[in-house]
């Protein structure tokens, strides 16, 4: 069966009889079995990063499993009028081995009409249930754990249905279970702080000006005033308006359960970009970071250099 799965691309599409309406469609494992045993039609993205297709290309009385191939580290998949199923094959142009990659997906606003599964050698694990766009719907998993299998759910009317999601690959470590990449609500260890300084997408020194909570998304937005900008890969922090004493301003997100509140003092804020948004990583008080850094420097254990004054 594993060999059949590898050979599925490029064969004639396997078609399944459509069950009588309004009864349930074939279970996802049965649709997947169609690919493993008989192959599937293949579609290639025009820009190799994103794909947009339609279930209306299928014959009305049949089910089909289609293969989609993408070769970028980030993009989107949009499936209008979903029927049958998709297998999304990511073949990123990267020098990193797959064991060092983490894949994350995030449903587009209003996405509906299909379930999204993690699939490996015929086994399925539900990632996003049709219509479930609540908090935390941005699961991440090791790239080696499998690929994406998208199966349309039975609908009386598919005319207003579009299943869509963003995907991104990162080199950050992934654990064995499905998770998001948000930092845990606990203080970082000395080692974690020093590694975060070297590997984060942004590193800044500053203070918390305000915190706004978004209970519906189970997130908090932390509004920062930055006195020193060490590094940022995206323009998260922009020059503060005149009259605010210089520096930069910006916002980062964290989980609501972390209970972040405005407070006095300066911190070293680190973090990563996740689907275009800045997410908080380690954030020790700056005086504590200075002590950690100098202690590691004296022992020759600093993984990289950064100004601490």
Pairing of strands 15-17, 62-70: antiparallel
What pLDDT, in 10s, does the model give residues 203-217?
999 999 999 998 877
User: Of 78-82, 110-114, 135-139, 252-256, which range is least confident?
Assistant: 135-139
Comparison of pLDDT for 49 and 10, the residue scoring more: 49
User: Average per-residue pLDDT in the chain?
Assistant: 79
Cα–Cα distances (Å) from 62 to 36, 57, 87, 160, 162, in that order, read 18, 11, 17, 20, 19
pTM of the full predicted structure?
0.70
User: Of 92-96, 176-180, 241-245, which range is least confident?
Assistant: 176-180
Q: Averaged over 119-126, what is the pLDDT?
A: 88
Q: Averaged over 29-57, what is the pLDDT?
A: 61
3-state SS of 115-139?
EEEEEECCEEEEEECCCCCCCCCCC
What pLDDT, in 10s, does the model give residues 270-309?
999 888 889 999 999 999 999 999 999 999 988 888 888 7
* Backbone φ and ψ of 176, nearest 5°: -75, -20
What pLDDT, in 10s, does the model give residues 17-31?
333 344 444 555 544
Pairing of strands 74-80, 51-54: parallel
Name the DSSP letter for residue 256: G
Provide the pLDDT for residue 68: 92
User: Of 95-99, 123-127, 217-221, 232-236, which range is least confident?
Assistant: 95-99
- Reading the block at residue 13, the tokens are 């599409």
Q: Averaged over 251-279, what is the pLDDT?
A: 90
Provide the pLDDT for residue 143: 84
Q: Averaged over 57-69, what is the pLDDT?
A: 72
Give residue for tokens 């754990």.
145
Beta-carbon neighbour count of residue 253 at 10 Å? Answer: 18
Backbone Cα Rg of the chain: 23
Query: Is the separation of the CB atoms in 279 and 233 below 8 Å?
Result: no
Provide the pLDDT for residue 133: 67
Provide the pLDDT for residue 164: 94
Backbone angle region of 225, left / alpha / beta, with phi > 0 → left and psi within -120 to 50 → alpha: beta
């Amino acid at each position: 069966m594993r060999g059949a799965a590898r050979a599925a691309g490029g064969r004639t599409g396997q078609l399944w009889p459509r069950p009588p309406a309004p009864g349930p469609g074939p279970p996802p494992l049965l649709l997947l079995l169609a690919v493993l045993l008989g192959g599937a039609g293949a579609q290639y993205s025009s820009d190799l990063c994103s794909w947009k297709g339609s279930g209306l290309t299928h014959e009305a009385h049949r089910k089909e499993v289609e293969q989609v191939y993408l070769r970028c580290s980030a993009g989107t998949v949009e499936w209008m009028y979903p029927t049958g199923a998709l297998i999304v094959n990511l073949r990123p142009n990267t020098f990193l081995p797959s064991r060092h990659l983490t894949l994350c997906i995030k449903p587009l606003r209003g996405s509906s009409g299909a379930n999204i599964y993690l699939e490996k050698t015929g086994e399925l694990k539900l990632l996003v249930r049709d219509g479930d766009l609540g908090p935390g719907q941005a699961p991440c998993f090791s790239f080696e754990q499998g690929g994406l299998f998208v199966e349309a759910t039975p609908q009386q009317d598919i005319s207003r249905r579009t299943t869509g999601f963003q995907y991104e690959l990162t080199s950050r470590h992934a654990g064995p279970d499905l998770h998001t990449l948000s930092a845990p609500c606990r203080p970082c260890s000395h080692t974690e702080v020093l590694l975060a300084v070297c590997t984060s997408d942004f590193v800044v020194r500053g203070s918390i000006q305000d915190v706004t909570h978004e209970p519906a998304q189970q997130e908090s937005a932390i509004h920062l005033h930055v006195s020193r900008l060490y590094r940022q890969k995206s323009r998260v922090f922009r020059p503060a308006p005149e009259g605010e004493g210089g520096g930069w301003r910006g916002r980062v997100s964290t989980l609501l359960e972390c209970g972040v509140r405005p407070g006095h003092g300066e911190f070293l804020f680190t973090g990563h970009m996740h689907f275009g948004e800045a997410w908080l990583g380690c954030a020790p008080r700056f005086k504590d970071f200075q002590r950690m850094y100098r202690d590691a420097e004296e022992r020759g254990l600093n993984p990289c250099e950064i100004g601490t004054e």
